[in-house]
Amino acid sequence: MEKITTYPIPKNISRVLALLRESPVQLEALSWFMTEEQFCEPLTENEWSFKQHLAHLLSRDEITSQSIYYALLVDDPILPDIHPQRQWASLVDYEHFPVSGLFKSYNFRRTTLLRVLTELTDAEWENTVSRASKRPETIYRLARALALHEVDHLDDITGKLKTRPPNL
């Protein structure tokens, strides 16, 4: 994958938007052959299931999207430092929902986020949000981190599905 620097130049913004657009499509393409039971089985021994990956990506998307929205709505927002996996995911516990509902939610949230991001001006990409215990982050850096995080998970899922025995 090409390098996407931390600078919000048009080329980088376009690449981040493309990755965010592609992630839900790639995720569904990887899962088209799986049954509800297979979604819940570990992809490899002692690893997450496909459903756990999807639930994690949805949790991360929610935390990041909300941060972006606050950066656009409030001057100098300071948000609580909520970890997407340890705190948010354990609260909402998406693993108890059907995969079809998780996909619908993920796709809807992504469509909403992309609608907002594609309308941003150059200056708005530089809006910041701070977490209580961390330095401010720009919208661009948040979107970039979300996109790259998803690419890592998609690569991980793809690799594990390729090495998975056919009967799983």
Interval 124-157: pLDDT, tens: 999 999 987 778 899 999 999 999 999 999 999 9
Q: Are 76 and 123 in contact (CB under 8 A)?
A: no
In DSSP terms, which residues pair with 42 in a beta bridge? Answer: 49
Interval 44-71: pLDDT, tens: 888 999 999 999 999 999 999 999 999 9
Mean pLDDT of the chain: 92
Burial of 50 (0-12, 13-18, 19+ CB in 10 A): buried
pLDDT computed for residue 165 by the predictor: 62
What distance, in Å, lies between the first and last C-alpha atoms of the chain?
29
Q: What tokens appear for 8 in the block?
A: 């919000």
pTM for this one?
A: 0.91
When pLDDT is averaged across residues 97-110 and rounded to a whole number, the result is: 96
Pairing between β-strand 137-138 and β-strand 78-79 as defined by DSSP bridges: unpaired
